[in-house]
């Protein structure tokens, strides 16, 4: 018994606490502190949700691809889960990016969707690719083959993303209307706006890390329960 | 290299004797072009519009799908996979042979499809610039064949393969078609796209290089025992 010793908080608890604090701070800054944009007015505040969500999506897809490469290299089953979970979360965050982007587009440009815009089109291609990833994953029986196929397809995405960016930019040049927030000279916005953006980004990343750790733990428990059930059935037989 | 040549010979001989794929692809191209022609209510696209070029590339992609869905079908149906995997050959040779065979089938189909396309849609327009059009089609076919061989290898060992392969392949065809349409617009239509042929063909070559390298490196993980 070690009742007097306090258990150390695990990673998910720390991440969840950080996410809650940062999210509260971000919401307070977005709605009560940051100045209203002169051009777009109050609706520009959706920028503090849309862009951090989009960047979190790319981070999740990147993390999933890194773990896919690591799986093919080391063949550890845990790396397959570490590749799948960020992809799953990436699709959720990607859906939110498309929804918030459409709302912003409708307010700013008067259209829910604009095919001439490079970033929108590229993001949709990438989103479609990751939807196909799930179709593949759930078409194969769980096991080594499923893990290998998922990893191979995820790595093909690493080739597709730069090609989509270049291809759409090459083909649709001169039609760019997406606001350029960051360029080679740095952030193209007021200091308070940039600070709010950074806090919102940190909050979104912390939320993603929390969801990643919780889902990973859930999947591991699920695997163990399946194993115990299988062993129990074998024992009964 | 010997394994590659032997496997390619096997794929071509199977097609030559069975005549399963190329006739079906030719019939599909004819049907698809007629469908588009009638689907437009008989309106001619002569004079050349971007839409005409887009239609050509949509037909090219869907014809490719037909070739890819049947890729590795003999291996699966006649139990050739086990023999191939047991053979002491580089797995990448299987991928390269299948990609080459698919490329040849696509080129043969397009040799028929292009004159048909001109006949159906462009008679009254300007004559196409054949070198650029041929280079774009060849580069696009190469990319489709190399990437398709990898994806078809995966799909061939999955239950819902006929449904799954188009779903896996279509996201990859989007950047290809986006640029290919632009680069061929100038060769067919009177509306300039503003994209130089070298830039467009360069992108298609980059696409081929990336997916060629990925296909070559990753195929061994797709056909594990």
B-contacting residues of A 164-203, CB under 8 Å? 164, 166-168, 170-174
- Any domain includes A229: no
Q: Over the stretch B29-69, which tens digit does the pLDDT of each residue have?
A: 899 888 887 777 666 554 456 677 778 888 888 988 888 88
- Any domain includes A5: no
B chain contacts of residue A145, beta-carbon cutoff 8 Å:
157, 224
- Residue A48 C-alpha from the chain's centroid: 15
pLDDT for A1 equals 44
**pTM: predicted TM-score of the whole model, two decimal places:** 0.82
Please give, rounded to a whole number of angstroms, the shortest distance from the CA of B37 to a CA of chain A.
25
- Any domain includes A216: yes
User: Shortest CB distance from A166 goes to which of B150, B167, B203?
Assistant: B203
- Any domain includes A184: no
- Any domain includes A230: no
pLDDT for B47 equals 46
Contact residues for B39 (Cβ-Cβ < 8 A; gap 6+): none
How do the domains of chain B map onto residue ranges?
A: 2-222
User: Shortest CB distance from A170 goes to which of B199, B211, B214?
Assistant: B199
Query: Residue A182's beta-bridge partner residues?
Result: A187
pLDDT, averaged across chain B: 82
Going by the DSSP 8-state scheme, the letter that residue B125 receives in this structure is S
Q: Is A135 on the interface with B (CB under 8 A)?
A: yes
Query: Minimal CA–CA distance to A68: which of A159, A180, A185, A147?
Result: A147
pLDDT for B45 equals 53
B-chain residue closest to A132, CA distance: B168
CA pair distance A35, A37, nearest whole angstrom: 6
Query: Minimal CA–CA distance to A103: which of A40, A22, A37?
Result: A40
Q: Over the stretch B112-132, which tens digit does the pLDDT of each residue have?
A: 888 888 787 776 656 667 788
Q: Is B158 on the interface with A (CB under 8 A)?
A: yes
In a structure prediction context, what are the per-residue pLDDT tens digits for chain B, which is 225 residues long?
788 888 888 888 888 887 888 888 899 989 988 888 777 766 655 445 667 777 888 888 898 888 888 888 777 777 777 788 888 888 888 899 999 999 999 999 989 888 888 787 776 656 667 788 888 889 999 999 999 999 998 888 887 878 888 889 998 988 888 888 888 777 766 656 566 778 888 889 999 999 999 999 988 888 876
Going B47 to B51 to B53 to B55, the CA torsion angle's sign is: negative
- Any domain includes A231: no
**Number of domains composing chain A:** 1
- Strands (DSSP E) contained in chain B are none
Return the number of CB contacts < 8 Å for A and B.
93
* Complex confidence, ipTM: 0.83
Note the maximum CA span of chain A: 73
- Any domain includes A170: yes
Query: Residue A187's beta-bridge partner residues?
Result: A182
In a structure prediction context, what are the per-residue pLDDT tens digits for chain A, which is 237 residues long?
444 556 777 888 899 999 999 999 999 998 888 888 777 777 788 888 999 999 999 999 999 999 999 999 998 888 999 999 999 999 999 999 989 988 888 888 788 887 767 777 788 888 889 889 998 998 888 888 899 999 999 999 888 888 888 887 777 654 545 565 666 566 667 888 889 999 999 999 999 999 999 999 998 998 889 889 989 888 877
Q: Which domain holds residue A95?
A: 12-34+44-178+189-224
pLDDT for B48 equals 53
- Any domain includes A234: no
pLDDT for B43 equals 62
Beta-carbon count within 10 A of B220 CB: 16
């Amino acid at each position: 018994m070690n009742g007097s010793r306090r258990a150390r908080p695990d990673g998910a608890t720390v991440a969840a606490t950080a996410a809650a604090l940062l999210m509260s701070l971000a919401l307070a800054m977005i709605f009560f502190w940051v100045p209203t944009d002169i051009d777009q007015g109050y609706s520009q505040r959706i920028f503090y949700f849309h862009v951090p969500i989009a960047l979190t999506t790319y981070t999740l897809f990147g993390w999933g691809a890194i773990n896919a490469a690591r799986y093919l290299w080391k063949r550890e089953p845990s790396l397959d889960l570490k590749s799948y979970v960020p992809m799953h979360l990436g699709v959720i965050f990607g859906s939110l990016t498309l929804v918030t982007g459409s709302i912003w587009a409708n307010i700013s440009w008067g259209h829910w969707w604009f095919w001439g815009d490079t970033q929108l089109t590229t993001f949709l291609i990438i989103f479609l690719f990751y939807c196909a990833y799930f179709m593949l994953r759930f078409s194969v029986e769980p096991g080594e083959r499923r893990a290998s196929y998922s990893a191979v397809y995820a790595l093909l995405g690493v080739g597709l993303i730069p090609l989509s960016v270049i291809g759409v930019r090459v083909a649709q040049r001169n039609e760019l209307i997406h606001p350029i927030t960051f360029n080679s000279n740095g952030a193209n916005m007021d200091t308070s706006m940039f600070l709010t953006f950074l806090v919102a980004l940190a909050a979104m990343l912390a939320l993603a890390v929390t969801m990643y750790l919780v889902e990973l733990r859930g999947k591991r428990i699920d695997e163990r329960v399946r194993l115990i059930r299988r062993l129990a059935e074998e024992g009964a037989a | 290299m010997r394994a590659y040549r032997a496997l390619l010979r096997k794929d071509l001989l199977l097609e030559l004797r069975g005549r399963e794929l190329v006739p079906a692809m030719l019939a599909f191209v004819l049907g698809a072009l007629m469908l588009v022609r009638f689907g437009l209510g008989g309106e001619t696209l002569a004079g050349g519009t971007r839409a005409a070029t887009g239609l050509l590339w949509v037909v090219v992609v869907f014809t490719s799908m037909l070739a890819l869905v049947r890729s590795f079908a003999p291996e699966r149906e006649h139990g050739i996979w086990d023999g191939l995997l047991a053979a002491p050959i580089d797995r990448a040779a299987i991928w390269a042979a299948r990609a080459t065979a698919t490329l040849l089938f696509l080129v043969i189909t397009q040799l028929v499809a292009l004159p048909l396309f001109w006949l159906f849609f462009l008679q009254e327009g300007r004559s196409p610039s054949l070198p650029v059009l041929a280079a774009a089609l060849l580069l696009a076919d190469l990319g489709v064949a190399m990437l398709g061989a990898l994806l078809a290898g995966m799909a061939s060992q999955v239950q819902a393969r006929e449904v799954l392969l188009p779903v896996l392949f279509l996201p990859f065809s989007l950047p290809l078609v986006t640029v290919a349409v632009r680069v061929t617009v100038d060769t067919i239509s009177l509306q300039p796209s503003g994209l130089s042929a070298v830039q467009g063909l360069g992108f298609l070559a980059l696409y081929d290089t990336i997916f060629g390298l990925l296909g070559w490196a990753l195929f061994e993980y797709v056909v594990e025992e």
